[in-house]
Amino acid sequence: MYTTEESWTQHNVDNPGRKRAVTGITCPVPGCNAFVIGHYAKYRRHWLAKHERFVSKYFCPQCRAAYKRKDDLRTHVTKHAGLILDLDDVECQFLENKEFLDPDPITLETAMDYKT
């Protein structure tokens, strides 16, 4: 486990081909090994895209356009003049994630230990 910023940096240095200057997370999921540049939010997005069996989709109440993120839906509905969106009352469905890569036994929490 990498519990300090220093050991996290060290972890990157120990990986061949990883430059010290690049801050990011090597995904610890077997078979993935994606190098996610950036911090927690970016990695979380990677995790949601690849390592959650189901992905949530939010639907526009007017035209049924589907978005993975509420923020994207919020941006979308500004195109509908006069439509006021209650983000707490948006229709949400869980759909099977076609890109799913089983992270077992790693969880998002243990994966994040690599960074923090």
Identify the bridge partners of residue 36 per DSSP, sorted by sequence position.
25
H helices present in 5-115, as ranges: 5-14, 40-50, 70-77, 108-112
Residues within window 8-27 making contact with Zn ion, judged by CB under 5 A: 27
Which structure tokens are listed for 115? 């960074």
Measured from the CB atom, the residue of 6 and 31 that comes closer to Zn ion is 31
Q: Which amino acid is at 108?
A: L
| Rounded-to-integer distance, Cα 50 and Cα 3, Å | 24
In the range 35-94, which residues lie near Zn ion by CB under 5 A? 50, 60, 62-63, 65
Using the minimum distance from each CB to Zn ion, give the nearer residue, 48 or 65: 65
Residues 79 and 81: their CA atoms lie apart, in Å, by 6
- Selected from 25, 32, 85, 106, the binder of Zn ion by CB under 5 A is 32
Distance of closest approach, residue 89 Cβ to Zn ion, in angstroms: 15
To Zn ion, the closest distance from the beta carbon of 50 in angstroms equals 5
User: Could you tell me the smallest distance in angstroms from the CB atom of residue 28 to Zn ion?
Assistant: 8
Q: Does 34 bind Zn ion (CB under 5 A)?
A: yes
